[in-house]
Structure formats: C-alpha cells, structure tokens
Amino acid sequence: MKARIVTLPGDGVGPEVTDAAVAVLQAVAERSGHTFEFASHAIGGCAIDATGEPLPAATLEACKKADAVFLGAVGGPKWSDPQAKVRPEQGLLALRAGLGVFANLRPLQVHPALAALSPLKNEKLKNVDVLFVRELTGGAYFGAKTRTTDTATDECKYTVAEVERVTRRAFELARERRQHVTSVDKANVLETSRLWRSTVTRVAAEYPDVKLEHQLVDSMAMLLLTQPARYDVIVTENLFGDILTDEAAALAGSLGLLPSASLGEGKVGLYEPIHGSAPDIAGKNVANPLGAILSAALLLRHSLELEIEATTIEAAVAHVLNYGPHSRDIGGTASTSEMRDAVIAALDEVA
C-alpha cells in the first residue's frame, strides 16, 4: 500500500524521537513492500519562532490531507511564560480539534525485563495489559472559565453525543481484546458523571458480548495500584483520564516507553509518545525513542490497518527490552540512535 504520513517533530526531544520512529517505519516499508511518504511540518514552539503561530495553517491543511499524523512533542522553557499570548500547547489543542480526534488511546503493558523499575511488586505486574480510552474534547478543560479576584470557576460539560461516540470506540476496541470495559466516573457527586454513566450503560446494551463495569474515579486510582491486571479497557472523561493515565504510566517504569493514539470518526489519527519535550535531555541523543516507535506501531494498526506490521514493531521493541540495549531512563547507557538501530535489527529477528 501507499500512505502519506505527516510528521510534526516539534520541540525538545521531539525531533530526535520522531527521527527514530520514521526510520523504523521506513525499515518496515522496505521489508513489507509498502510505500510511506513522509512530509514534515512545524508545530509548537518552533512554529511560533518561524511564523508566530503554534499551529500554522499550512500544517493543519497538510495533516487533514494525510493518512496519519505523527507528533514528537511540543513546548519548552523558551516558550513557557504564562503571560505569553501564544503558547506551544495551544498548537496541539488546535490540532486535536482540527482533526476531530475525540478518543485518546493509551495502551499500558509492563514488560517483565523492566519490572524492577516499577513501584509495584512483580506479582502484581504480571499480565498487566490495559487500554485507556480517554475522552479528549470535552469536560472541564474546554468549559467556560471565569475569574475574579477571589473566585474562579471551570465549567464541566458533556453532551450525550460526546459520551456516546467515545463509549462506542471503547466497546469496539474491547471486542478485539478481552471483552471487558470499565467506565470511570464520579456519579455519586457530579451531574456530568451521572449523564456519563447512564449513557455508557445504554450504549453497552448494543454490545452484549462485552462486560461493563462502573468504577468511581477515587477507587479506580487505588485499584490501578492494587489490582492492575484485572482491567482490560478503561474508558473515562477528559480530566479523570489525564490523571489516571499518568498514574498508570508510573507502573511501566519510564515515561519514555509509552505510546498514544488519538482517533476521531475518520481514519486520520494523531500518534505521539506520551512524554513531553523533556528539555533537560533534548539534543543529547539520550532520549528513549521506544514510546515514539510504539506510537508508530499504533499508527500502522489504527490508521493504515497494517496489523501484522504493527505487531512486528511491538515484538521488535519487546526483543530489545529483553536483550538490550537499554537507554538511560530504563537503566542502561544506550543512545537514542542505538535504541533505534537495535529495534530495526530486531525486526528481522522477530519476523
């Protein structure tokens, strides 16, 4: 097949990990006979420097026409003045809105070779395989905000349609996995959560083959640490999802390992590692590129429907975690490019 992939390397370690992900995708293309055409565009701080805008119109246009979009990271101290009129993160929010991506997927597995890095004991980590589906366009992050000298408000709002579409996505994903959805809310206190719960319950009736369970967010925060292997797909609203996915990331041992996908109704998805621009290590060729490389695997799976190729990348990453090399964040000394080359070499080992 032939696919057009837009890359948005962004700031900090973004360009380094994007280069690694692109190199792995190129290697997969060579081995499978597919053609991936890459076009790189500006977003975030580097786009502000070049054009004054965190998301230049040309970037959004190119992304909308692509088959998939790969993003490195945005932001950094150079652009972090809270008084600044334009900030790099606005580029990312505008891109998500422009692409209409409403479901943020974050798979979490704990690789046995890294169990020592996790704060949990080995036996709890066995068989952890969770897929978070976080609603990405609603809730308190996007509601009206007010501020006077002594009062502030953030409106939290959800429509039935917004809850339905992310719920359907979660159930469809669960069908391909272990047929178990846990919906997380705070329905004992919040009206948006009561709407969430009743909508999820109604949509779930369309998926009799998938088991639904409700959890309050506070108990979920605890259960993630005490029984992480119990969960399959966890679906939740924007703010709860933001918090729970960071908590879950700690279980994996390093931020540098974890991928994400943001999907909408169409096929164009946005793929990025969950880590930020990591300014403290940028430009030193030491960032772990595995989160970016695993995001490239998600791109193949969800936007290009190349399941075999996606699985091959994941197996190659597992091979590297088993046999090394390891980057600094996971207890080794390997550079970004050594990690990249090791994954490419492992493609042939696992094929």
Asked whether position 10 contacts ligand ATP by CB under 6 A, the answer is: no
Residues ≥6 apart with Cβ < 8 Å to 141: 238, 239
11 as an active site residue: the answer is no
141 as an active site residue: the answer is yes
Q: How far is the CB of 11 from ligand ATP (least distance, A)?
A: 9
129, 141, 157, 211: the catalytic one is 141
Asked whether position 75 contacts ligand ATP by CB under 6 A, the answer is: yes
Q: How far is the CB of 259 from ligand ATP (least distance, A)?
A: 11
Residue 3 CA: distances (Å) to CA of 35, 38, 347: 6, 9, 20
65, 126, 246, 267: the catalytic one is 246
Residue 199, CA atoms < 13 Å, CB-side half-sphere: 22
Q: Is the peptide bond before 279 cis (omega within 30 degrees of 0)?
A: no
Q: Applying CB under 6 A, which part among 41-49, 170-178, 258-266, 269-277 lies near ligand ATP?
A: 269-277
Binds ligand ATP by CB under 6 A, chosen from 100, 143, 276, 332:
276
Binds ligand ATP by CB under 6 A, chosen from 174, 281, 317, 346:
281
Q: What is the phi/psi pair of residue 48, to 5°? A: -60, -45
Size of the site for ligand ATP (CB under 6 A): 15
242 as an active site residue: the answer is yes
Round to whole Å and give the CA distance between 351 and 31: 10
Nearer Cβ to ligand ATP (285/311) = 285
- Find the residue with minimal CB distance to ligand ATP: 276
| Long-range CB contacts (within 8 A, 24+) of 282-285 | 282/11, 282/12, 282/13, 282/16, 282/76, 283/13, 283/16, 285/16, 285/335, 285/336, 285/337
Q: Applying CB under 6 A, which part among 196-204, 273-281, 295-303, 314-322 lies near ligand ATP?
A: 273-281
The radius of gyration of the chain from alpha carbons, rounded to an integer in Å, stands at 20
Asked whether position 256 contacts ligand ATP by CB under 6 A, the answer is: yes
- As given in the structure block, the two tokens for residue 325 are 């090399």
49, 65, 145, 218: the catalytic one is 218
Compute the CA torsion angle 326, 329, 335, 337 (nearest 10 deg): 80
Neighbours of 37 (CB within 10 A): 12
Q: Which amino acid is located at 167 in the chain?
A: T
Asked whether position 255 contacts ligand ATP by CB under 6 A, the answer is: yes
Nearer Cβ to ligand ATP (3/91) = 91
Round to whole Å and give the CA distance between 272 and 69: 9
| Long-range CB contacts (within 8 A, 24+) of 318-321 | 318/111, 318/350, 319/346, 319/349, 319/350, 320/290, 320/346, 321/111, 321/113, 321/114, 321/290
- Pairing mode, strands 68-73 and 2-10: parallel
Nearer Cβ to Mg ion (216/255) = 255
Binds ligand ATP by CB under 6 A, chosen from 277, 295, 303, 312:
277
- Taking CB under 6 A as the rule, which mask of x and - marks residues 13-52 in contact with ligand ATP? x---x-----------------------------------
- As given in the structure block, the two tokens for residue 218 are 């506070």
Binds ligand ATP by CB under 6 A, chosen from 165, 275, 301, 326:
275
| Chain residues that interact with Mg ion, rule: CB under 5 A | 276
Q: How far is the CB of 277 from ligand ATP (least distance, A)?
A: 5
Ligand-binding site membership of 145 (annotated): no
Q: How far is the CB of 13 from ligand ATP (least distance, A)?
A: 6
Q: Which of 66, 77, 13 is nearest to 40 (CA)?
A: 66
Q: How far is the CB of 242 from ligand ATP (least distance, A)?
A: 10
| Residues with a known catalytic role | 141, 186, 218, 242, 246
What are the residues binding ligand ATP (CB under 6 A)? Answer: 13, 17, 75, 255-256, 275-278, 280-281, 287-288, 291, 329
Please give the annotated binding residues for NAD(+), written as ranges.
76-89, 276-288
